[in-house]
Structure 1
Amino acid sequence: MRIAFFKSLLETFKADEDTYFLTGDLGYILFDELKAAAPERFYNIGVAEANMVGISTGLALCGKSVYCYSIAPFLVMRAYEQIRNGIAGNRLNVKLVGAGGGFAYGKEGLTHFALEDISLMRALPGMTVVVPADPVEAGLLATQSHQWQTPMYIRLGKTGEKHIHETPPEFIIGKGMTLLKGKDVAIIAAGTMVQRSLEAAGLLRKKGVSASVINMHTIKPMDAELVQELSQTHEAIFTVEEHNINGGLGSAVAELLAESSYNGLFRRIGIPDELKREIGDGEYLRGIYGLNPEGIFNTITKALK
């Protein structure tokens, strides 16, 4: 995802002299072309995330369009006060790009887990939160995000994610994407969980359960119209996210369903409130928490019984 996002962003960066890029001492090879294209608009701030966000705030207050990059927990949690008071408080044109969502950096342990970032960003007034599901979407988001003039948090994976789309889809910030239509259950997923939810839907189909799969790439503002439609056509709705079940995708959908008086079955699938004492690569950890296709399938079938 990262490669696709920054490859797409490069053309915008070259064309717009008011676009600046900041990194927290990360992504050297990844950003070589950006730096070469306009070194005067590329800043490596070092391992000083709060300072990086402060500089981004100053640039945006001067009318610049700013992209600010680091590993998700470092960017979001270390600099949360600066993001809240500077970027969100002034509704500035800053795109916060967090890499390594969920367990992408699983081998590095708890310090590198990004399991609360969506919840934190969602809580900030005026902050748009977008989680692309594959490299194709990441590239489209890079282009669209530049047209967005208010704060945005972009949660990327790492590298090696599978392609969901063979051709560029209709990707619109704020509009969910129906990838599979079914009649029994609806699975609303985001990011890395979209591809796994599609596989889980295939397992459900073998058991006679017809599932819709929704790619809810924009967590905020969420596509309330689509959620309302699903509530009227499906007797069971599940959310799947590589994030704590509190405050993320599941919570956002639950709020909309509660306000629409949905009386069907609803369950959140994600990281529970208590972490296990496990470290390993992303796939291993997703399996531990039931966030692989088989785990999603098992949770849904158990709930349906």
Structure 2
Amino acid sequence: MSSAIDSAAEKKIEKKPRLTTSAMIASIAGEGQRTQPAPFGHALAAEAQKRPNIVGLTADLSKYTDLHIFAQEHPHRFFQMGMAEQLLMGAAGGMAKEGFIPFATTYAVFATRRAYDFIHQVIAEENLNVKICAALPGLTTGYGPSHQATEDIAMMRGIPGLTIVDPCDALDTEQAVAAIAAHNGPVYMRLLRGKVPLLLDEYDYKFELGKAKLLRDGNEVLIISSGILTMRALEAAKELANDNIGVAVLHVPTIKPLDIDTVVAQCSRAGRLVIVAENHSSVGGLGEAVGTALMRARVHPSFEQIALPDAFLDAGALPTLHDRYGISTAAMVANIKQWLG
């Protein structure tokens, strides 16, 4: 009897799809979800047609930040700096001083941890017009702490005058490129690359720098989110609606400067559980920015966070890690139900 049970269990395990190494860098899009290829690269190439002073720079990662698309269309305005992120930022600052609008791309871990002083001293202190577009933000790679930029927003929020943008999907990314090109001053943008989900077009959405957008309303829960966690929040809201739980989703694509007026106004509605959801450490990101704003406004709703832990995260397949650290749709739904009791 025991062997028969063991055999049945083995067959059940065999039927479950096995996650391969590719799942460590797989697209964040769900099965069957609409996607758009390389929205950043295509948007930047198009914007450069209108603005001849846009240049693109990278630290040996043009293919992996989608900057290769810009390079193909504007080869004389593309600069390959090699694996030298500090040089990348220094050169971008120098070009900005000469009137160019440099878009500098690399991975978020290298842009922040490796080149922080150059961004701080060369670019931000002189308020230079450099756009730093950093791929693999938060937990969007399974290659462990060396590649997981789980604290990048916390680091960059401390730099005076630096605008921080965290787009949700392909539409957000595409529109943000034009907006930050028009903005005069340094910008740090978390970059979604490859096959990027497309969903905000269903919500009559338009990116505005410095503005939060209410994508859907609800009476029981308000989720304030940025980046890919807005996508997860919208998915969770649809699932919870089946249980007659109304979930509002306030998308905050600009982390700094924060749209305090909209955040405070939405959190002032009585009777709603407020949850801040972000693809970032619970330390120093959107959650703390929102919490500080509410304290200063003397608004005190029931408050929870969905964020990555203050820890060095594991390596592994992204679906597994997203479940483990609570930022998958299923994990969000379970936590929200628990908080609501």
Q: TM-score, normalised by structure 1?
A: 0.94
User: Are the counterparts in 1 of residues 276 and 306 from structure 2 also a CA contact under 8 Å?
Assistant: yes
Structure 2 residue identity aligned to 1:269: I
Q: For 2:267 and 2:63, how far apart are their aligned partners in 1?
A: 46
Structure 2 residue identity aligned to 1:296: M
Q: For 1:178 and 1:58, how far apart are their aligned partners in 2?
A: 39
1:13 to 28, 48, 54: 48
Map of 2:290 onto structure 1: 253
Q: For 1:200 and 1:94, how far apart are their aligned partners in 2?
A: 36
Task: Map residues 66-85 of structure 1 onto 2, 5 A cutoff.
Answer: 66-85=102-121
Q: CA deviation at 1:33?
A: 4.1
Q: Secondary structure at the match of 1:21?
A: strand
Q: For 1:3 and 1:161, how far apart are their aligned partners in 2?
A: 7
Map of 1:268 onto structure 2: 305
Structure 1 residue 176 corresponds to structure 2 residue 212? yes
User: Are the counterparts in 1 of residues 57 and 92 from structure 2 also a CA contact under 8 Å?
Assistant: yes
User: Are the counterparts in 2 of residues 14 and 37 from structure 1 also a CA contact under 8 Å?
Assistant: no
Task: Map residues 104-119 of structure 1 onto 2, 5 A cutoff.
Answer: 104-106=140-142, 108-119=143-154
User: Are the counterparts in 2 of residues 196 and 293 from structure 1 also a CA contact under 8 Å?
Assistant: yes
Q: Secondary structure at the match of 1:22?
A: strand
Structure 2 residue identity aligned to 1:299: N
Show structure 2 runs of 5+ residues with no match: 1-35
1:226 to 254, 259, 262: 262
User: Are the counterparts in 2 of residues 103 and 281 from structure 1 also a CA contact under 8 Å?
Assistant: no
Structure 1 residue 294 corresponds to structure 2 residue 334? no
Q: For 2:140 and 2:37, how far apart are their aligned partners in 1?
A: 12
Task: Map residues 90-169 of structure 1 onto 2, 5 A cutoff.
Answer: 90-106=126-142, 108-166=143-201, 169=205
Q: For 1:161 and 1:24, how far apart are their aligned partners in 2?
A: 22
Map of 1:207 onto structure 2: 243
Question: 236-245 or 167-176, which moves further after superposition?
Answer: 167-176
Structure 1 residue 63 corresponds to structure 2 residue 99? yes
Q: CA deviation at 1:173?
A: 0.8
Q: CA deviation at 1:2?
A: 7.3
1:25 to 49, 53, 60: 60
Structure 2 residue identity aligned to 1:160: K
Q: Secondary structure at the match of 2:200?
A: coil
Question: 88-97 or 4-13, which moves further after superposition?
Answer: 4-13
Q: For 1:69 and 1:60, how far apart are their aligned partners in 2?
A: 15
Question: 34-43 or 217-226, which moves further after superposition?
Answer: 34-43
User: Are the counterparts in 2 of residues 2 and 157 from structure 1 also a CA contact under 8 Å?
Assistant: no
Q: For 2:312 and 2:242, how far apart are their aligned partners in 1?
A: 32
Structure 1 residue 87 corresponds to structure 2 residue 147? no
Structure 1 residue 284 corresponds to structure 2 residue 292? no
Residues 16 and 158 (structure 1), Cα distance of their counterparts in 2 relative to 1, 3 Å cut: closer
User: Are the counterparts in 2 of residues 2 and 99 from structure 1 also a CA contact under 8 Å?
Assistant: no
Residues 136 and 80 (structure 1), Cα distance of their counterparts in 2 relative to 1, 3 Å cut: same
Structure 1 residue 241 corresponds to structure 2 residue 278? yes
User: Are the counterparts in 1 of residues 39 and 196 from structure 2 also a CA contact under 8 Å?
Assistant: no
Residues 162 and 39 (structure 1), Cα distance of their counterparts in 2 relative to 1, 3 Å cut: closer
Show structure 1 runs of 5+ residues with no match: none
Q: CA deviation at 1:114?
A: 1.1
User: Are the counterparts in 2 of residues 132 and 141 from structure 1 also a CA contact under 8 Å?
Assistant: yes
User: Are the counterparts in 2 of residues 2 and 156 from structure 1 also a CA contact under 8 Å?
Assistant: no
Q: Secondary structure at the match of 2:250?
A: strand
Q: Secondary structure at the match of 1:161?
A: strand
Q: For 1:59 and 1:47, how far apart are their aligned partners in 2?
A: 19
Q: For 1:290 and 1:33, how far apart are their aligned partners in 2?
A: 34
Q: Secondary structure at the match of 1:226?
A: helix
| Percent identity for Structure 1 against Structure 2 | 30
Aligned length: 303
Question: 44-53 or 293-302, which moves further after superposition?
Answer: 293-302
RMSD between superposed Cα atoms in Å: 1.7
Q: Secondary structure at the match of 1:112?
A: coil
Q: CA deviation at 1:99?
A: 0.6
